[in-house]
């Protein structure tokens, strides 16, 4: 098959995005809509979710929404049922919802740890189990939004980092288990991307000398959702301006790098 510009399009596909109200999730929703997809969006923030839905409609695409907490398996199942009723299918699942808080590991209570596990790992497993049955026989794509912290130490974010690493590991296993169903499973690992919950990012820290943008992540998600990535599965694409490659090195104000 010759490579065509049309291979980047998502026409006729239904894309499910969790945590879609703001930041990276909203950028992914709007980006997929511009590339021709219909959207199913969920988030806990009802008013912001409604704004995201209006943006999808402005792009000329259909949209279904649900205000829910992805840590609730029953609520996720109900949302999948609604998507099946409205669209009859789900071609792409983007597990974007997640979050954390900064704290030394020894100060994290059992309840706090449980919240981090459910928000960053169990939410992904709930959604995969709920939506894979809606993927047509022709196949589809699952994109798990993790973090650069899945691939390096996360002091002050130890449990969060461990759960993001768990999602990256799960992604590899699911890529093999679901390959027979023609479902590709990949990760996107952002860093230095402004989105709710990230806090101050600082300036001049990335080798690429400009701030990161939510659309930088959305572009990679569109690639992984489209036929351009039809032979890509079980891998992680880093959208971090080069921070993982740089390790402890940072771009120096006068040029070059410093530790």
Q: Is 247 exposed, middle or buried (0-12, 13-18, 19+ CB in 10 A)?
A: exposed
- Helices 214-225 and 23-34, interaxial angle, to 10°? 50
- 160 given a catalytic annotation: yes
- The two tokens of residue 105 are 């590991």
Burial of residue 54 (number of CB atoms within 10 Å: 0-12, 13-18, 19+): exposed
DSSP-derived secondary structure letter, 151: S
Helix ranges (DSSP H) in 5-157: 23-34, 46-58, 73-87, 110-117, 123-131
DSSP 171-204: HHHHHHHTGGGTEEEEEEEE-S---TT-----SS
C-beta separation of 192 from 241 below 8 A = yes
Set 35, 121, 160, 223: catalytic member: 160
Question: Would you mind telling me the total number of residues written for the chain in this entry?
Answer: 259
Q: Catalytic residue positions?
A: 160
């Amino acid at each position: 098959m010759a490579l065509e510009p049309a291979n980047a399009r998502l026409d006729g596909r239904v894309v499910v995005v969790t945590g879609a109200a703001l930041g990276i999730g909203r950028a992914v929703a709007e980006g997929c809509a511009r590339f021709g997809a219909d959207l199913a969006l969920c988030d806990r923030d009802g008013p912001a979710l409604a704004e995201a839905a209006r943006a999808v409609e402005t792009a000329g695409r259909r949209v279904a929404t649900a205000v829910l907490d992805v840590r609730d398996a029953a609520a996720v199942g109900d949302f999948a049922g609604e998507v099946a009723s409205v669209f009859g299918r789900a071609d792409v699942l983007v597990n974007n919802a997640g979050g954390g808080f900064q704290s030394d590991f020894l100060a994290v209570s059992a309840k706090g740890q449980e919240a981090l596990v459910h928000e960053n790992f169990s939410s992904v497993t709930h959604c995969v189990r709920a939506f894979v049955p809606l993927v047509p026989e022709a196949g589809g794509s699952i994109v798990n939004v993790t973090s650069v912290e899945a691939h390096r130490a996360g002091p002050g974010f130890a449990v969060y980092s461990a759960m993001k690493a768990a999602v990256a590991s799960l992604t590899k296993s699911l890529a093999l288990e679901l390959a027979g169903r023609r479902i590709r499973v990949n990760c996107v690992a952002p860093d230095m991307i402004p989105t709710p919950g990230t806090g101050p990012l600082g300036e001049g820290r990335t080798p690429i000398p400009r701030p990161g943008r939510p659309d930088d992540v959305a572009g990679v998600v569109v690639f992984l959702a489209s036929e351009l990535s039809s032979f890509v599965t079980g891998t992680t694409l880093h959208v971090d301006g080069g921070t993982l490659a740089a390790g402890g090195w940072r771009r120096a104000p006068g040029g070059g790098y410093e530790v």
